Amino acid sequence: MTKSIAAFQDEHGRITGWPSDRRRAHQLAILDHLTGLFEPGRRYSEAEVETILRDHSTLEEPGVLLAELVDGDYLATGDGTYWRADSRPNG
C-alpha cells in the first residue's frame, strides 16, 4: 500500500478521520494499519476490539472502523469473537 495515512492521524498516531469513498486507497491504507494492531492467531472479544480501536483513534464512533475491518475481510468474526482474517485463531 503506497498511500500515506499521515493526513488522517494526530501527533500520537491515532486515526482522526475516515476518508471519503473517493479516497478509497486511503481507506485501505488505514485498514491495513489497523489490522497490524491485532496479533495473528489470537481471538479478541468485541470489548477488546473496541478498546483497541478507541485507543488508536479519536473518532466519536470507532464502530465505523470495526465495521470496515469486518466488511473488508481484515477481521473475521464468529462465536462472539474476532480475529485477523489472514490467520487462523489458536484454540
Q: What is the pTM of this model?
A: 0.88
**What is the tens place of the pLDDT at every residue in 18-65?**
999 899 999 999 999 999 999 999 999 999 999 999 999 999 988 999
At 80 the pLDDT is 92
By the 10 Å C-beta count (0-12 exposed, 13-18 middle, 19+ buried), 47 is classed as exposed
At 1 the pLDDT is 41
Phi/psi at 24 (nearest 5 deg)?
-55, -35
At 82 the pLDDT is 97
Asked if residues 81 and 43 have their Cβ atoms less than 8 Å apart, the reply is yes
